[in-house]
Amino acid sequence: MAVRTLIVDDSRTMQQLVKAELERSDAISVIGVASSAQEAREMIKALDPDVITLDIEMDGMSGLEFLERIMTLRPTPTVMVSSLTSEGAEESLTALELGAIGCFDKSDLLARRDGGSKSSLIDLVLTAAQARNSAGFGQRRATTQKVVEGYRARPNSLIGIGASTGGVESLIEILRQFPADCPPTVIVQHMPETFTKSFANRLDRLCPPKVEEARPGAVLTPGKVLLAPGGLQHLEIAGSSARLHCRLLEGDKVNGHRPSVDRLFHSLARYAGPNALGMILTGMGNDGAAGLLAMRQAGAMTLGQDRASSVVYGMPAEAHARGAVTEQLSLRKIGARALEWCRA
C-alpha cells in the first residue's frame, strides 16, 4: 500500500515541487496539500496521513511550533523541508530533537526543476513510513537524566557509538547521563555535513563531557566525546592502546554512508580490541552490523538498542541478527550499562 503523505508548506511553488517529486514514486500517494498550520491540523484529523512533509519557515505558526504540537497530541512521522545551510542547522536539529524523522534541503528541488534523478526526499518519506509502525516512535524522552557521580573510567577503555534515524534524540539522552570524566567516546551519526558542527556544539551545551567535531590527529582522552564530521570523510581511530587518535579518510560511501559506522567499528576492533565497547542505536539499514561483529570477535563488549525504544529498528536489528550484539537494552538503560562496563 502506498504511503499516504500530507504536504504542509506556505509556498505554492514548493508545494508543487514537493508534490511532483513525491509522485515520481509509486510507493507514495500525496493525499493533501496544506498552506498553514491551521489548515494542516484539520487535514491531519480528517485524513490521518502516514507521513507529513513540513516546512520549517512558515508564516504564522512556525513549522517547529507545529511539529511540537503534532508530536505531543498526534505523533505522526514528519520530514522537515528546510534550507539546510549552516544558519538553518540549529532549527533543523531542534526539529530532529522534537522527533522529526529527517530534514530535506529544499534547494535541492529548486535546483532540479527539470527533473533528473530522484532526490533523497522520497527515501526520507519511505523511511518515515517505517517509523510509524515502530514502538519507539513518538515516545516522549526524559528531559533530565541522573549523571553518574564520582566516576572514573578504566584505563584504555573507550566507547564507539553508531546511529542514524532517531539518533539525535537518542544521543542527547545517552550523553546527558555521561559524567564529565566519561570514557573517551567516538560517534558516527548519519547527518548532512552542515549539521555536525552545530550538533557537536549542542551536545556540548547539554551534556557534562566536552563534545567536539572530530579532527585529524585528535587524541582520545577521558572526558572527551568526538563526533564524526558529516559528508566528506570516514572517521577511524588508530595508534597504540595508550594513545589512540582520530583519522579522517577519504573514500567511497560504505553501506550508502560517509562517514560509515562500519569503518569506525572496524578500526575500533583493530586498534582497541577488548578495551572497547561498541554501541549501535536506532537507524535505517545495516551500517555498523559487520563492524560491530568484528568488535565482538576482537573481544569488545557490544550493545544494541532494543526494538521497543528504537525509532527505526534497522541497524540494531541487523547487528543482532548477525550475532554482533552481546546485550540488547532500552535507550534508558544502554548508556548506564556502557559506563558500568568501562568503570575502573
- Say how many C-beta atoms besides its own lie within 10 A of residue 25's C-beta: 17
Which residue among 35, 82, 134, 164 is the active-site one? 164
Which residue among 287, 306, 309, 310 is the active-site one? 287
Q: How many Å is the Cα radius of gyration of the chain?
A: 20
Q: Is 266 marked active-site?
A: no
Kindly state the cell numbers that stand for 241.
Answer: 592502546
Q: Angle formed by the axes of helices 63-73 and 89-98, to 10°?
A: 10
Bridging pattern class, strands 224-227 and 185-189: parallel
Kindly state the cell numbers that stand for 66.
Answer: 507545529
Sign of the torsion angle spanned by Cα atoms 19, 127, 96, 137: positive
CB-side exposure of 23: number of CA atoms within 13 Å? 12
What residues contact 43, with CB distance under 8 A and at least 6 apart? 6, 32, 34, 49
Give yes or no for a cis peptide into 155 (omega within 30° of 0): no
Q: Is 198 marked active-site?
A: no
What torsion, rounded to 10 degrees, do the Cα atoms 331, 332, 338, 343 define?
Answer: 170
User: 135 with 166: CB under 8 angstroms?
Assistant: no
Q: Is 164 marked active-site?
A: yes
Kindly state the cell numbers that stand for 130.
Answer: 517505517
User: 263 with 290: CB under 8 angstroms?
Assistant: no
The DSSP H or E segment spanning 129 is helix 120-132
Q: What share of the chain is helix, strand, coil (3-state, %, to 5)?
A: 35, 25, 40
| Residues designated catalytic | 164, 190, 287
